[in-house]
Structure 1
Amino acid sequence: MKKVIIISLILAFTLSNCADKSQAPAAAPAPVLPTMAITTASTTTDAEYPAAIQGTVDIEIRPQVSGNLDKVLVDEGAYVTKGQTLFKINERPFREQLNTALASLHAAEAAYINAQLEVDKLTPLVQNKVVSDYQLKTAKASQKIAAANIEQAKATVASAKINLGYTNITAPVNGYIGRLPKKQGSLVSATDVDPLTTLSDVHEVFAYFSLGETDFIKFKSQYAGKSIGDKIKNLPPVTLLLADNSAYPQTGKIDMVDGQFDKTTGAITVRATFPNPYRTLRSGNTGKIRLGLEHDDAILVPQSATIEMQDKVFVFAVNKQNKVTKTPITVVGKSGTNYLIKDGVKTGDQIVLTGIDKLQEGQLIQPEKPTTKIAQVINKN
């Protein structure tokens, strides 16, 4: 009886396993995914460099004489023209200095007349040998001293006039007024740490940015010309990206490369000039300069075909057995929606274009050529 029961249990277990296997789902088919073959093409990549913007003229307005600030004739942010009066320093002390200097000049002129009269009186007396020649020589010496005193007095008058003129502070160029830290009634001096204000001429602006040594070598090799000056003439216009990443509507021109590298940063300063007809840019603005660099026989990969993990960029390469391998690539630039690749893939390699977020290492796929829309995007970029 026990043997019958055991045999029945074995038969039941065997039948159960067979039923489970017959009911097991079939393996999922390999996903059909678009792929592309890596090719080379000529393209232009954009490189962006942080830039600091300055007006073509940025001037600190400082007093050149000490005194009380009598009048402030402009407001912060105002546009002023060359020669316009900005500040008035109390001129009364300087006017009195001028009056004193004029009085000294008149006294010196009178002394000269008196010395001349003495010479005129003694000359005939010496000729007639009434008085000695020594007295005439002494009179002539006194006359020269009087003449020198006149010149000294004239210089003092001129200096007093200059100082009086410094009480009227004018704009040296057209531009916009900055902050006004000193208010009416403040005591100002030429030795003050802070200027009265700043004045910026921004009808054009300079955008300064820096190139590292490697970038500078590439920069020089891209354009025709033996000297830096010749290469600058052949440079295309550059774009200024503002702080919100919007492109400034006016293109600029690189017109200066510094004469030497900064020993601290290992970079060289480059300047681009941008027209600013509507004065929308001001000194102190920041942004980025976008430079276009041309590349021949470049390997391009759509950004959509890449995945980033731990600061590395990968693509899924497809081998001859249609299995995928996650392959790291080295990105050296960007052209439109494509990455410019230095290492990782080569011409002829197949990579997966879309659906890579669900792929796993070694997974089997069914490759298909990219759709017309995808192919057009790749070819366009």
Structure 2
Amino acid sequence: MSPNQDDKSGSFASQSSDRDVGAAGTPAPPRSGSARSFLRLVAKFLLPVIVLGAAGGSYVYLKSTKPEVKQRAQREKAWPVKSMVAAFTDHQPVLKLYGVTVSGRRVEMRALVQGEIIEVGTQLREGGFFKKGDLLVKIDPFQFDGAIVEANAQLAEAEARLSEIEASITLERDALKFEIEQLEIAKRDLERAIPLAAKGTVSKKLADDRRLIVSQRRQSLQNRQNNLKVQAAKARQQRAAMRRLSWRVDQAKRNLRDTVLKAPFASYVTSVNAEIGRIVSVNDRVATLLDKGWIDVSFTLSDSQYGRILSSEKTVAGRDVEILWYVGNRPFIYKAKIERVSAEISSESGGVQVYARLADSEGGAPIRAGAFVEVRVPDQHYKNVLRIPQTALYDGDKVYVIIDSRLQQRKIEVVGAAGTDILIRGPIKAGERILLTRLSTVGEGIKVRDVTSGEGNDVKTSSSGQLGAYKRTAKSKGGGGTADTKDNAGKAKPWARR
């Protein structure tokens, strides 16, 4: 150390001791804290700036020196879809409709005569069954037996009166003959008396007496003839009365016959309103009978359905249909034939009411009136059409075919329907595969992977419509098998590289 430095050190120490000790020998006051606060403030703001600057510099350095990584080429996605082979054939769809069975013949059986019911049929109850000619009810026949006796007695009286009149007619005819003979005799006697009276042989009085006798005989003959006409008229009148009385006898017999009410045909019973002891009047309802052998099915064809069938067949009547009646899980199937079409078009249903008669209802079919049934009606016959699901149709008139694993749009015409499927015609070749899977991003040229023939198979269809399945064989970890080992760019797939 130099003498000058020693001098400075001593001077500095001297000055410090001078500040620490006052003139009177007491300690000096503490130094001010403003310098210390300033240093702390500078450190608070300067340190973050230094840290941020260092971080920014590091980021720039790392970014500028990072290694270049080659980007992998993006692969085009192939959408897995299902398809069907286009095959044009003739189709006759079946319309699936619903209807209700109705009785083809429904008869209300009413009392034909008045009286007390003394007997009823054993099956006269709701749902009962009667064969043709079975007894329904029997009414007390007492008064009707008496009516027959009275009518027969009146007829017998009329017959006796007619016999009396006919006897009188015979008597008058015989008397008429005598009257004619007597008139002829009187005429001849008068003819002889007139010349004799003119000669004076007999008196003129004798001639006048002969004229009087002729007049009397002529009058008597006229009376006989008139009596004969009267008796003949009485006979005709009596015969008319006899016909009336004979009809009354027949009516009395029929009334007696009507005391027994029988089933006119094999039928089921409903709306029973008769019991033993009940007094019924004429036209009181006893029961309603539904013909067992005549069951119709009533259903509605829409205007379009009716028009299609009418245009192809010219008539709806005579068309065979199939009826299905579901009882639990089991359907009863019946054959039926359309017999008639309603005379009016219903404004409520907006269609045509059609009636088909069950062909085998007479054979003891268990179906009854009022059953809800399914009706299958053959629709119009379509020739050379393609049947596809509705899901394959886009925008109402477009479908897509798969050509070389890509979609191509075809515009088609929908000509009909077959259940949930549709019938189409259009520029589609037989054998081409039609897209069935519904895609939200469908469009021309979209790549697809047809999985119809199996999972993981790229199915291609050439423009000629032939189907080809392109498979590449690879060994899997668990043994032999087939798999696609390359992606669309020709690079090995990751699982194949492993």
**Common fold by TM > 0.5:** yes
Query: What is the percentage of aligned positions where both structures have the same residue?
Result: 17
Greater helix percent: which structure? 2
- How far apart in 2 are the matches of 1:179 and 1:260? 29
- Among 132, 139, 143, the alignment partner of 1:82 is 132
After superposition, where does 1:1-381 map in structure 2 within 5 Å? 1=46, 2-8=48-54, 31-36=79-84, 40-54=88-102, 57-75=105-123, 76=125, 77-129=127-179, 132-133=223-224, 134-192=226-284, 194-202=285-293, 205-223=295-313, 228=315, 232=318, 237-243=320-326, 247-252=331-336, 254=337, 256-258=339-341, 262=345, 264=347, 265-267=350-352, 269-276=354-361, 277-293=363-379, 294-302=381-389, 305=391, 332-334=416-418, 339-341=421-423, 347=428, 353-354=436-437, 356=438, 360-361=440-441, 366-371=448-453
Amino acid at match of 2:335: T
Change in CA separation of 1:9 and 1:181 when aligned onto 2, cut-off 3 Å: farther
Q: Distance in 2 between matches of 1:212 and 1:316?
A: 28
Q: Which residue of 1 aligns with 2:186?
A: none
Aligned to 1:379: none
Post-superposition offset of 1:163 = 1.5
TM-score normalised according to structure 2 size: 0.56
Residue 29 of structure 1 and its aligned partner are, at CA, apart by 6.1
Shift of 1:172: 1.6
Amino acid at match of 2:50: V
**Count of residue pairs the alignment pairs up:** 346
Deviation of residue 148 (structure 1)?
Answer: 1.8
SS in 1 for 2:236: helix
Larger radius of gyration between Structure 1 and Structure 2: 2
| Counterparts of 2:58 and 2:160, CA distance in 1 | 145
Question: Which residue identity is paired with 1:289?
Answer: V
User: Distance in 2 between the 1:137 and 1:362 partners?
Assistant: 111
The alpha carbon displacement at 1:142 in A equals: 2.4
Verify the 8 A CA contact 1:67 1:89 in the aligned structure 2: yes
What amino acid maps onto 1:211 in structure 2? L
Give 1:115 shift.
2.1
Q: CA deviation at 1:306?
A: 6.7
Q: Please, which runs of 5 or more residues in structure 1 have no aligned partner? A: 16-21, 376-381
Check the 8 A contact 1:63/1:196 in 2, yes or no.
no
73-82 or 313-322: which moved more? 313-322
Amino acid at match of 1:162: R
Q: Does the C-alpha gap of structure 1 residues 10 and 32 become closer, same or farther in structure 2, counting only changes over 3 Å? A: farther
CA contact (8 A) 1:60 1:197 kept: yes
Contact kept? 1:69, 1:186, Cα under 8 Å:
yes
Q: 1:73 to 1:301 in 2, by over 3 A?
A: same
> Compared with structure 1, are the counterparts of its residues 4 and 189 closer, same or farther at alpha carbon in structure 2 (3 Å cutoff)?
farther
- Return closer, same or farther for 1:315/1:180 CA change in 2, 3 Å cut-off: farther
Structure ranking higher on relative contact order (CA contacts 8 Å, 6+ apart): 1
CA pair 346-7 structure 1, distance change in 2 beyond 3 A = farther
State the secondary structure of the residue aligned to 1:280.
Answer: coil
Distance apart, 1:170 and its partner CA: 1.4
Paired with 1:319 and 1:123, the residues of 2 have a C-alpha distance of: 117
C-alpha separation between the residues in 2 aligned to 1:205 and 1:4?
A: 103
Distance between the aligned counterparts of 2:239 and 2:230, measured in 1?
14
Report if the CA contact (8 A) 2:269-2:287 is conserved: no
Task: Report the Cα distance in structure 1 between the residues aligned to 2:448 and 2:50, rounded to whole angstroms.
Answer: 53
| 1:368 counterpart letter in structure 2 | D
Cα distance 1:372–1:121, how it changes in 2: closer, same or farther (>3 A)? farther
Q: Indicate if the aligned counterparts of 1:73 and 1:86 stay in contact, CA closer than 8 A.
A: yes
For residues 302 and 151 of structure 1, what CA distance do their matches in structure 2 show? 80
SS at match of 2:173: helix
Look up the SS of the partner of 2:116 in the other structure. Answer: strand
Q: CA deviation at 1:82?
A: 2.2
Amino acid at match of 1:187: I
